[in-house]
Amino acid sequence: ALNRLIDLCEARSVSLAFESRSPGLPEGADVLDVDGSPVDLILALGGDGTMLRASRLAIGSGLPVFGVNTGRLGFLTTTPEKELEVGVTAVLDGQALVERRFTLSASVNVAEGADLGPFNALNDVVVHHSGAARVTPIRLTVERPEREEEIGSFTGDGVILASPTGSTAYSLSAGGPIVAPDVECMVVTPICPHSLSVRPLVVGSHEKVAVTGLDPGHNLQLTIDGQVEAELGSQDTVVVSRGEHEVSLVQLQGQTFLDTMRRKLNWAARPPERA
């Protein structure tokens, strides 16, 4: 796929620069500098993990991100590898659409030491147990200017705070709802709660949700988009809110959220007819 992309861009007189961690870089390739290079588009060749990393590079720059799926599922990288030339040509010719997706911001109020963050996430912020596989008690609250209101406490493996974009990722696997990407909300999905009454919750994107561990002897871990990790103390609090930045995802004509949901997740697919 990379060689095909290089050939296409050379034929169109389009310059390429590569992210320094990109595997299989061609000899003499220019290295991407989002802050210093005259970049017009970030193109991600890979799966959703590659797309999430590319999106973090784009946060704050306003650069659009276009994904070509060379991985497995590719929910965010909606253009298949076999359509690489068609897709890139459409983008270069201005025939693609740009969808703006809001991000999440997570900050850590450290009980003993300097605070951490903010961390930016396109998909989700996860607070979960660290080390051995054991449940941990967690308290969830909503922080408002006038007062703090408790959502509740539960014992489980942790909690996922997902954006609408991330509602089809880890949160979905943990039983969370599917949310259209243009809905202004945040999904709070408990991970394996040891209770029949604890269920996922959808709150407004204007809310700030705080997550605090309740076991003084059990540290937690923070994971951003499944890629960035930070160790937490047992009494630290993670505050998650709508981020100030957005990510611009490039979609081809005809590629809609509902279409991708049906094709990638087999949502409401009919069972095969009997012969």
Please list the active-site residues.
48
**Whole-angstrom distance, CA of residue 47 vs CA of residue 73:** 7
Sign of the dihedral through C-alpha 145, 151, 152, 155: negative
**Whole-angstrom distance, CA of residue 105 vs CA of residue 224:** 10
The secondary structure of residue 18, as a DSSP letter, is B
Please list the alpha-helical segments (H only) found in the chain: 2-11, 48-58, 84-92, 170-173, 257-265
Number of H helices, E strands in the chain: 5, 15
The secondary structure of residue 6, as a DSSP letter, is H
Q: Name the residue among 137, 116, 102, 113 with its Cα closest to residue 216.
A: 137
Rounded to 5 degrees, φ, ψ at 83 are -105, 20
Q: Which residues of 116-130 are buried (b: 16+ CB within 10 A; e: fewer)?
A: bbbbbbbbbbbbbbb
